[in-house]
């Protein structure tokens, strides 16, 4: 069994240069997009079908009345319990031997169940291809012994890629160091394999509570809702079909009587 690969993003080292964002677009040949007004230096408010890696800029008020920047390079979490994978009806979404989660563009039918099933709003629909898209951890690169383009481009080692167990140990030590430096809110998000969603294969070191970074405090899988909706749709279709059969039968009887 292959080693589970993961990405550790230390937000305390991020300088907001967006080198990761540019490298992601270049390697994955993602199209240029017009920036939207977000009220900060952030390009977009959230992920799109052309933006798999997004640098977030958060202004946090300080006790002394000043503002401090909290920076975070956000990406698909490649969850151990992936809502997108569970909800996919065609098998287009699959897990690789490294634990990453990818979308086979040739099999995706564009149903968008994965879009609604992602607790982080990462998966996006591409109108041109009619398929869902998201970060793959640069699947072609890691299967050829290379790291993801974003990690390679990061000048401060804010983004680190490698064996998950090794990165978790390193991340835990980093939290202890930051707490000793006075960053009392320093914490890991998604590193615990016994935590929410079975742990994230893209986990983060945060300097404030998750919601500050637009992350859910306790993400849950909504795929049950998708399944229920699907069953309701099937039941509705069957009901319509049965109704049509009876309607034609009654009409046939009426024609016979005439």
Tell me the sheet residues that pair with 160.
Answer: 8
Q: Average pLDDT, stretch 12-37?
A: 95
Are 198 and 227 members of one domain?
A: no
pLDDT of the residue at 222: 73
CA distance 217 to 226: 22
pLDDT of the residue at 26: 97
How far separated are the first and last CA of the chain, in Å rounded? 73
| Proportion of the chain above pLDDT 70, given as a percent | 86
Q: Average pLDDT, stretch 239-257?
A: 57
pLDDT of the residue at 248: 58
Are 88 and 167 members of one domain?
A: yes
Are 18 and 82 members of one domain?
A: yes
Tell me the sheet residues that pair with 215.
Answer: none
pLDDT higher at 243 or 32: 32
Are 177 and 238 members of one domain?
A: no
List helix spans (H) across the chain: 19-28, 83-87, 113-117, 139-142, 149-153, 164-180, 223-257
User: pLDDT digits over 77-129, tens only?
Assistant: 999 999 999 999 999 999 999 999 999 999 999 999 999 999 999 999 999 99
Are 30 and 146 members of one domain?
A: yes
pLDDT of the residue at 234: 57
Are 205 and 234 members of one domain?
A: no
Are 157 and 237 members of one domain?
A: no
CA distance 24 to 209: 27
C-alpha gyration radius of the chain: 23
Are 156 and 183 members of one domain?
A: yes
Are 116 and 95 members of one domain?
A: yes
Phi and psi at residue 101, in whole multiples of 5°?
-120, 125
Q: What is the CATH number of the domain that holds 14?
A: 3.30.70.20
At residue 89, the 3 state secondary structure works out as coil
Question: Comparing 54-58, 124-128, 133-137, 220-224, which segment has the lowest mean pLDDT?
Answer: 220-224
Are 79 and 52 members of one domain?
A: yes
pTM of structure: 0.83
pLDDT band for 226, please (50, 70, 90 cuts). Answer: very low
CA distance 187 to 196: 15
Q: Domain limits at 235?
A: 222-258
At residue 196, the 3 state secondary structure works out as helix
List helix spans (H) across 146-198: 149-153, 164-180
- Evaluate whether 92 touches 85 at the Cβ level (below 8 Å): no
Are 202 and 227 members of one domain?
A: no
User: How high does pLDDT run on average in the chain?
Assistant: 89
pLDDT higher at 231 or 174: 174
Residue 223 confidence (pLDDT) above 50: no
Place of tokens 């677009």: 25
- Evaluate whether 71 touches 58 at the Cβ level (below 8 Å): yes
Are 200 and 159 members of one domain?
A: yes
The total of structural domains in the chain comes to 2
pLDDT higher at 34 or 19: 19
């Amino acid at each position: 069994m292959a080693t589970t690969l993961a990405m550790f993003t230390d937000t305390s080292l991020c300088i907001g240069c967006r080198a990761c964002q540019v490298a992601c677009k270049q390697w994955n040949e993602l199209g240029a997009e017009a920036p939207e007004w977000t009220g900060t230096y952030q390009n977009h408010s959230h992920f799109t079908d052309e933006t798999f890696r997004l640098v977030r800029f958060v202004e946090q008020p300080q006790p002394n009345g000043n503002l401090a920047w909290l920076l975070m390079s956000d990406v698909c979490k490649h969850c151990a319990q992936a809502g997108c994978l569970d909800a996919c009806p065609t098998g287009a979404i699959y897990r690789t031997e490294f634990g990453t989660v990818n979308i086979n563009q040739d099999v995706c039918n564009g149903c968008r169940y994965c879009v609604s099933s992602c607790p982080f709003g990462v998966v996006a629909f591409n109108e041109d291809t009619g398929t869902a898209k998201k970060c793959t951890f640069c699947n072609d690169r890691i299967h050829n012994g290379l790291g993801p383009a974003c990690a390679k481009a990061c000048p401060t080692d804010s983004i680190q890629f490698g064996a998950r167990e090794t990165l978790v140990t390193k991340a835990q030590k980093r939290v202890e160091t930051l707490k000793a430096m006075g960053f009392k809110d320093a914490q890991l998000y998604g590193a615990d394999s016994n935590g929410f969603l079975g742990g994230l294969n893209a986990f983060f070191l945060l300097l404030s509570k998750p919601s500050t970074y637009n992350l859910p405090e306790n993400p849950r899988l909504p795929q049950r809702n998708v399944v229920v909706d699907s069953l309701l749709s099937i039941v509705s279709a069957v009901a319509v079909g049965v109704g049509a059969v009876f309607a034609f039968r009654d009409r046939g009887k009426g024609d016979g009587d005439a």
